[in-house]
Structure 1
Amino acid sequence: MDKAVPVHYMRSIENTIKDDRLTKIVVILNKDKISHLTSALNDIGIFNIKTNPIIDYYIKEQIDKSLNDVSLYKDLIPKVKMEFIINNISVRKIVSCIRNVIYTGVLGDGNIIVYDIDEENFKIYNDIKVNVG
């Protein structure tokens, strides 16, 4: 899986995230992978997932080798943003599960963002679910 496109980590997961703390995970992925990822996350015990449609804007270089020309290519791609908070499931296990599901080896597979929720700097007072009906 790591052969096609290398994965770039901002920092090592092992050094920044402890499994016994609240952790927020945000995943930005292609729309066609959402059902596969949702079922995989359900299998490891994550059921309360928030999803939002987003538009991913990126600029990449497009190289025309015949003309030795480099031009910028801009594109808007519809994607989905998934968010969930965990505290009793291994972060390494979740990141590995997400990578295995959304990885295709092509640029633009997605992003995984892991936030350590520090109680001194970020407090969750209540997570209130509002049911209609």
Structure 2
Amino acid sequence: TPVAEAVEVKTVPTFEKGDSKFTKIEIICKEARFEKLKRAMAQLGITGMTVTHVMGYGSQKGKPEYYRGVLVDTNLLPKIQVEMVVSAIPVRDVIEAAKKALYTGHIGDGKIFVYNVDNVVKVRTGEEGYAALQDVE
């Protein structure tokens, strides 16, 4: 390829393990509890989350539902899946706030899954690591 047609290669700083710990928290819950969960996360300082409508059931195979007095076989129940990645905010604080916001004491209150994340890359700026989670303009 001639030099005039070559694409410039930019070096992006590498992510060093141990610089920051990133954790993905995934919460599956009833849609009716989402506003309370969202407020609780905002109070903690969570600035971004992804919310998806999903369907599923747990070990109870879905709560029995009735339509006009007749039992309807329900396998998949509507839920929402909330995903967020945190670094500066302690994971335990997020879990405790979510449990408090979602608890009703009934079947189907939800589940919280916690995953380790190796790196975060912001596509628009090319930032990696902790800087990619910040939304400073």
Which bin holds the TM-score, normalised by the shorter protein? 0.5 to 0.7
Match of 1:98 in 2: 98
1:115 matched to 2:115: yes
Report the more deviating stretch, 104-113 or 73-82: 73-82
Match of 2:37 in 1: 37
Q: In structure 1, how many angstroms separate the alpha carbons of the residues matched to 2:37 and 2:50? A: 13
SS in 2 for 1:40: helix
**TM-score, with normalisation over the residues of structure 2?**
0.62
Gaps of 5+ in 2: 1-19, 62-72, 126-137
The AA in structure 2 aligned to 1:126 is: K
Give the deviation of 1:57 after TM superposition: 3.0
Q: In structure 2, how many angstroms separate the alpha carbons of the residues matched to 1:87 and 1:36? A: 22
Q: Which structure shows the bigger proportion of residues in strand conformation?
A: 1
SS in 2 for 1:75: coil
SS in 2 for 1:36: helix
Q: Give the direction of change, closer, same or farther, for the CA distance of 1:21–1:59 in structure 2 (3 Å limit).
A: closer
Give the deviation of 1:94 after TM superposition: 0.7
**TM-score, with normalisation over the residues of structure 1?**
0.64
Q: Give the direction of change, closer, same or farther, for the CA distance of 1:114–1:128 in structure 2 (3 Å limit).
A: farther
Q: In structure 1, how many angstroms separate the alpha carbons of the residues matched to 2:60 and 2:30? A: 18
Match of 2:81 in 1: 81
Q: Give the direction of change, closer, same or farther, for the CA distance of 1:128–1:37 in structure 2 (3 Å limit).
A: farther
The AA in structure 1 aligned to 2:30 is: N
Gaps of 5+ in 1: 1-19, 62-72
Give the deviation of 1:114 after TM superposition: 0.5
SS in 2 for 1:33: helix
Please list the CA deviations of residues 94-122 of structure 1 after superposition, one character each: whole Å capped at 9, or x if unmatched.
Answer: 100000010111121101000111x3xxx
Asked whether the equivalents of residues 59 and 74 of structure 1 are also in contact (C-alpha less than 8 Å), the reply is no
Match of 1:22 in 2: 22
